[in-house]
Structure formats: structure tokens, C-alpha cells
């Protein structure tokens, strides 16, 4: 049974009442600082030392040999191969449609501003490999980078204890996507590796311009440290699902979807927001039944019983929408009557799954959407990973003599108003002979 929060009739700000996982990235940042700084100073040798200290492994070669990547692809189970290829195809179709086009705005004769969209030069993509391994995250990171036109893509994922290499399915996914620069490095040292590179071991690793991909709190803390040295996508926290449901929802579906997110991590958040007490009771019964049959029962139970998970009772659908907007879920399911109309009223969510036949697990793998999404309420101001993540807007400003002369007086007036007369002089000198 999930904890219950009854907001019926409450006028309080829901943000102060809703459940959240308790994580402190600031404390974690100070704990990873020595590792990050060691990699900056000592390169590959520091990466090896951190991998031995944290993972208990002596990695033979930080960069995975090409033949290991090819072998993993050759040994891939046919069903997994077919699923990955379908996931890649659907994701590529969606992300290629996200590409932006160059636009030129004419501001009078001889004056134009052109908005260009240029890809980042080199990116480092982090793929988790702790409690679970995620070949699907290879797809979700690599495909939008490729759609944006990124020329240099590197992937890193933690080495597994039995092989000293990243998970075989992760390597196979890299092969299917044509990525051959892959590293057997995880944690904060992987983020530092991408941020600073290393040259004290061959083959060397060049620094990247941007790092993306989800990870644990140590990965998130390292990304925070390196923000500015490189671009990052977001500071990802524990995964979360919110389900907005009325009495038309099937409790079996709701329970299954809450459990599916709890399966990720003991800190994963599963939140049901509903107008129906009867649905709550039915979902509680279904959760008990389904959890007993799931493989990762301890992890799921801890997540569902944690302070980050709850059932929230609301008086009506309007209040339910206010609650989910305040929560800003990474994944939001709408299981109500006329779910599309309800979904279009939502303002804050990383991704919205509409209706009974669009579960979050579809989005994790084969919907074509991206599963790297903002967590911890960041959906109120941030977007998920997309082709646009890897594009930079660059403006080309091109004015002729006459076009500049037309606005010269305005430039001078504003520069005088800001007490920056040299700004105005830089325009006047062009017309003073």
C-alpha cells in the first residue's frame, strides 16, 4: 500500500506537500571533487585508480577494443537485435523531424539576421550500468546526436565485474549505431574523463564539448562540477512516474505502471493522483498482488514504501491537474476519460503518456520519443533530451552601409543612455569620412 496524501478541499501549494526523494547533490559534489580533480591532473592513471577503488576492477584498456564491440554485436540475441533496430528506427524518425531550419529575417533593405543551427562538435554520452544496464539509453543518447549532425560521439559505461567491459548489449547497441569509441569507465571518473580527456595512455581520449545521459548521484555531482567546462543536458535524479487517473482507469494497468518505475531504483518515485477512493483501494490490492510476483521485489517494495512515493487524493480533475503541474513529473500518464483533452491541459511534465495503451515502458524503448527526461520537478523549466540539445543557435548579422545608417542614430542614443559612448563612436566613425 502506498502512503496516502489527501488534498481534497486543500488550498495549500501542492509543492510543499508532494513526495520527493531526499538527495543532496551539493554534499555529493564535495565527495567527488577529489576524483574529478585527480582525473584533470593525472588523466588515465587517475581513472584507473578510481575504477579500482570504487568498482574493484583493474581494467586492461579504458577504451574498448573494436573487436569486442563487433563481437558483442555478432553474439546479440536475435530478439534483442530486432527490438533495438526497431527502437533505433522509430527514434531516428522522431528525432530527425526535430531538426531546425535556417531562417533569415529581413529588417529593411540591406539588413538581415540569419539564425543558423550548428551541431556541437564532440559529445560524451554516459550510459548507466549499475543496478540495471540500459542499451536503450545508448539509443536515446546517440540517435538525437546523430540527427543533429554531431561528428564525434563517444560512449562510456561502467565495466562489469565478470568481463571488465561494459555490458555486452550496450556494446552491441553501439555497434548497431555505428559508434566505435566506447570506454569501460563509470561514475564520476567517467564524467571527468570526458570533461578533461587524457593523453597519458593510447589511444588517447579527447575532451568533449557536451556530456549527456542519466546516472547516479555521483555522476550527477560530477556533471554539476564540470558545467561550464562542458555543456551538460541536466542534473538527473531518481526516476519518477506520476499517473493522473479517474474512476475509469483500470487498476491493473495503474498498479503495473507504478511498479515498472519502482523497478529502476529504491529511490524511484511512483505517484498516483486520483479523484477516486475506489480506484486507490483497487490499486493497493493490485500492487500487493503484482509486487509479490515481480523479480526485483525488494527494490520495488523499498521504492513504493519510500517517502518519494504516494497516492494523492484530489477533489476533482482540475485540482489533479494543479497537483501534477506542481509535481512536474519526469513521466506523466493520463488515465482518464478523454485523456487527450486532459493531456493538452498539462503544462509541466517531461513526457506525457496519453491513455491506457501508452504506458511509460513504451516510451522507455519503442515509442520513438526520448526517455532521457528532467526529474525532481525540473520539467517546470527544462526539456528532455532531443535533437535540439545538440544544436547551438548562431546568429549572422549582416548590414549594408545604408542599412546601418538607418539605425545609427538609435545606436548612438542608446549607447549615450547607458554611458557607453565608445559604442556609439564605433558606429559614427563609419560615417565621418
Please check if 77 is assigned to a binding site: no
Please check if 42 is assigned to a binding site: no
- Pairing between β-strand 103-106 and β-strand 111-119 as defined by DSSP bridges: antiparallel
Are the CB atoms for 172 and 72 separated by under 8 Å?
Answer: yes
Question: pLDDT > 70: what percent of the chain?
Answer: 99
Establish whether 381 is a catalytic residue: no
Instruction: With a cut of 90, say whether residue 230 has pLDDT above it.
Output: yes
For 56-97, the pLDDT digits (tens) are: 998 889 999 999 999 999 999 999 999 999 999 999 999 999
Please check if 418 is assigned to a binding site: yes
Q: Which helix (H) or strand (E) holds 410?
A: helix 401-417
Alpha helix ranges (H) inside 121-249: 135-148, 168-176, 187-196, 217-226
Residue 131: pLDDT band (50, 70, 90) is low
Model pTM score: 0.93
Residue 139: pLDDT band (50, 70, 90) is very high
Q: Which residue has the cell 487527450?
A: 340
At 157, phi and psi to the nearest 5?
-155, 145
Query: How would you classify residue 110: left for phi > 0, otherwise alpha for psi between -120 and 50, otherwise beta?
Result: left
Q: Which of 68, 181, 286, 330 is catalytic?
A: 330
Q: Which of 95, 253, 296, 331 is catalytic?
A: 331
Instruction: With a cut of 90, say whether residue 129 has pLDDT above it.
Output: no
For the chain, the straight-line distance linking the first and the last C-alpha, in angstroms and rounded, comes to 82
- Residue 133 pLDDT: 78
Establish whether 330 is a catalytic residue: yes
- Residue 237 pLDDT: 83
- Residue 407 pLDDT: 97
Please check if 338 is assigned to a binding site: no
Mean pLDDT of the chain: 95
- Residue 406 pLDDT: 96
- Residue 10 pLDDT: 86
- Residue 26 pLDDT: 83
Amino acid at each position: 500500500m502506498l502512503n496516502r496524501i489527501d488534498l481534497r478541499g486543500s488550498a495549500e501549494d501542492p509543492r510543499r506537500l508532494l513526495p520527493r526523494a531526499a538527495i543532496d547533490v551539493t554534499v555529493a559534489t564535495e565527495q567527488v571533487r577529489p576524483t574529478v580533480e585527480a582525473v584533470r591532473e593525472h588523466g588515465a592513471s587517475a581513472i584507473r585508480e578510481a575504477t579500482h577503488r570504487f568498482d574493484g576492477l583493474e581494467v586492461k584498456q579504458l577504451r574498448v577494443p573494436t573487436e569486442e564491440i563487433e563481437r558483442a554485436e555478432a553474439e546479440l540475441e536475435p530478439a534483442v537485435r530486432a527490438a533495438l533496430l526497431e527502437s533505433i528506427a522509430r527514434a531516428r524518425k522522431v528525432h530527425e523531424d526535430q531538426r531546425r531550419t535556417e531562417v533569415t529575417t529581413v529588417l529593411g533593405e540591406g539588413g538581415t539576421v540569419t539564425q543558423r543551427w550548428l551541431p556541437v562538435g564532440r559529445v560524451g554520452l554516459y550510459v548507466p550500468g549499475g543496478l540495471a544496464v540500459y542499451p536503450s539509453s545508448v539509443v536515446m543518447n546517440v540517435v538525437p546526436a546523430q540527427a543533429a549532425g554531431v561528428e564525434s560521439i563517444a560512449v562510456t559505461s561502467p565495466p562489469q565485474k565478470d568481463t571488465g567491459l561494459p555490458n555486452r548489449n550496450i556494446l552491441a547497441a553501439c555497434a548497431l549505431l555505428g559508434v566505435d569509441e566506447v570506454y569501460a569507465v563509470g561514475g564520476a571518473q567517467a564524467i571527468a574523463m570526458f570533461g578533461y580527456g587524457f593523453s597519458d595512455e593510447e589511444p588517447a581520449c579527447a575532451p568533449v564539448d557536451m556530456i549527456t545521459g542519466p546516472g547516479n548521484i555521483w555522476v550527477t555531482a560530477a556533471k554539476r562540477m564540470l558545467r561550464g567546462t562542458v555543456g551538460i543536458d541536466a542534473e538527473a535524479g531518481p526516476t519518477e512516474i506520476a499517473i493522473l487517473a479517474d474512476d475509469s482507469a483500470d487498476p491493473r494497468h495503474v498498479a503495473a505502471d507504478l511498479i515498472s518505475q519502482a523497478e529502476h531504483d529504491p529511490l524511484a518515485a511512483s505517484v498516483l493522483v486520483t479523484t477516486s477512493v475506489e480506484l486507490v483501494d483497487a490499486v493497493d490490492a493490485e500492487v500487493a498482488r503484482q509486487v509479490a510476483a515481480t523479480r526485483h521485489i525488494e527494490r520495488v517494495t523499498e521504492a513504493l514504501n519510500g517517502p518519494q512515493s504516494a497516492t494523492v487524493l484530489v477533489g476533482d480533475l482540475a485540482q489533479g491537474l494543479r497537483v501534477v503541474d506542481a509535481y512536474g513529473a519526469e513521466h506523466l500518464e493520463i488515465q482518464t476519460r478523454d485523456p487527450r483533452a486532459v493531456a493538452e491541459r498539462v503544462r509541466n511534465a517531461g513526457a506525457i503518456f496519453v491513455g491506457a495503451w501508452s504506458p511509460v515502458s513504451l516510451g522507455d524503448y519503442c515509442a520513438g520519443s526520448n526517455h532521457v527526461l528532467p526529474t525532481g520537478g525540473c520539467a517546470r523549466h527544462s526539456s528532455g533530451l532531443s535533437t535540439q540539445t545538440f544544436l547551438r543557435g548562431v546568429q549572422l548579422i549582416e548590414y549594408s552601409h545604408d542599412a546601418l545608417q538607418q539605425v545609427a542614430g538609435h545606436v548612438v542614443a542608446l549607447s549615450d543612455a547607458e554611458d557607453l559612448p565608445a559604442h556609439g563612436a564605433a558606429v559614427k566613425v563609419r560615417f565621418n569620412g
